[in-house]
């Protein structure tokens, strides 16, 4: 059980936000040190890991001589695609076992299930965003990919993917506290979603009948918007950010509800 409060005390909103900020900061530092350590690259592994994965995929594509039927560079296509996949998939995969691994911290009154999940989400978002920004800057400077045509659309697409990844992480992470089957089922599901996520194709390349099924997946809209911002009129993108926002909102509400239930479940277990 959590430490009992000595008395009910009303805390001003500013004070509550300050406490919440200190809790998240402490959990963030603890998680980073526990996961990456203090030696060698240390915290640099936060974005080095996703960078290595993306560069590995890019190298395999280049060595295999893969072509995608357009004048887009392999570098730009791979970086925009696989960075987006790492964003939502890593957020969810790292959150699936977050509550079980940090159950001892939940005995502290100010530490809630939501704090534990948000910490994992923030770490993965920071790592994926840094990886995406650094790789884009390096490859643009080397002339291996063009600068984005519409940076604001790139940012919009990325933020929508961040929202989707965070919402899905809350949902899966909280649900996993009730049954380990959730985590076990999520891993094969994420691999099945990977080829359908839009990382390795554009929706416009698919048959018209197939496009409507692929566009049912919200992350595809984010990837298409991201690439539309990068490549502009060089591609024909298909996306509906209003639809993606509606799905994200539903997943967020479901995730927050399950997070509240998970907090009660962990307390009485």
Query: In Å, how far are 32, 92, 102 from 45, measured between CA atoms?
Result: 10, 19, 21
Residue 107 confidence (pLDDT): 77
Residue 258: how many other CB atoms lie within 10 Å: 21
Question: What confidence tens digit (pLDDT) does each residue in 55-101 have?
Answer: 887 887 777 655 555 567 788 888 898 899 999 999 999 898 888 88
pLDDT > 50? residue 268: no
Tokens of 13: 């909103």
Q: What residues contact residue 187 under an 8 Å CB cut-off, 6+ apart?
A: 93, 96
Q: Please write the tens of the pLDDT for every residue from 147-158.
A: 999 999 999 999
Rounded-to-integer distance, Cα 221 and Cα 228, Å: 10
| Residue-range domain boundaries for the chain | 16-268
Q: Is the pLDDT of residue 123 over 70?
A: yes
Which stretch of 30-39, 43-52, 58-67, 68-77 has the lowest confidence by average pLDDT? 58-67
Of residues 45, 246, 32, 237, the one with CA closest to residue 154: 237
pLDDT tens for each residue of 222-261: 999 999 999 988 889 999 999 999 999 999 999 999 998 8
Return the percent helix, strand and coil in the chain, to nearest 5: 75, 0, 25
Residue 97: DSSP 8-state: T
Nearest to 230 by CA among 140, 127, 111, 105: 140
Q: Is the dihedral of CA 201, 203, 208, 214 positive or negative?
A: positive
16, pLDDT greater than 60: yes
DSSP string, 179-245: -HHHHHHHHHHHHHHGGGTTSS--GGGS-HHHHHHHTTSHHHHHHHHHHHHHHGGGS-----HHHHH
Q: What is the CA radius of gyration of the chain?
A: 20
To the question of pTM greater than 0.75 for the whole model, the response is yes
CA distance 55 to 79: 8
* Cα 100 from Cα 3, distance rounded (Å): 19
Cα 37 from Cα 178, distance rounded (Å):
30
Residues 6+ apart with CB under 8 A from 53: 82, 86
Pair of tokens at residue 158: 């990325």
Nearest Cα to Cα of residue 177 among 90, 257, 266, 114: 266
């Amino acid at each position: 059980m959590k430490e009992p409060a000595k008395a009910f005390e009303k805390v001003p909103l500013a004070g509550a936000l300050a406490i919440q900020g200190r809790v998240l900061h402490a959990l963030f530092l603890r998680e980073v040190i526990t996961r990456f350590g203090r030696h060698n690259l240390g915290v640099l592994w936060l974005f080095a890991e996703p960078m290595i994965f993306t560069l590995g995929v890019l190298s395999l594509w280049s060595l295999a001589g893969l072509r995608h039927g357009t004048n887009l560079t392999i570098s730009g296509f791979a970086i925009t695609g696989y960075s987006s996949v790492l964003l939502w998939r890593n957020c969810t995969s790292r959150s699936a076992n977050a509550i079980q691994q940090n159950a001892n911290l939940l005995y502290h009154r100010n530490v809630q299930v939501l704090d534990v999940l948000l910490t994992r989400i923030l770490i993965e978002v920071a790592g994926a965003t840094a990886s995406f920004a650094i790789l884009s800057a390096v490859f643009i400077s080397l002339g291996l990919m063009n600068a984005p045509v519409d940076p604001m659309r790139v940012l919009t697409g990325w933020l929508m993917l961040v929202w989707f990844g965070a919402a899905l992480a809350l949902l899966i992470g909280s649900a996993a506290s009730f049954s380990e089957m959730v985590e076990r089922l999520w891993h094969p599901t994420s691999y099945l979603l990977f080829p359908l996520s839009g990382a390795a194709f554009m929706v416009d390349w698919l048959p018209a009948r197939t496009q409507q099924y692929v566009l049912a997946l919200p992350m595809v809209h984010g990837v298409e918007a991201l690439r539309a911002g990068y490549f502009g009129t060089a591609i024909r993108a298909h996306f509906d950010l209003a639809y993606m926002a509606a799905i994200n909102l539903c997943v967020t509400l479901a995730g927050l509800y399950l997070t509240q239930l998970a907090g009660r479940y962990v307390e009485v277990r």
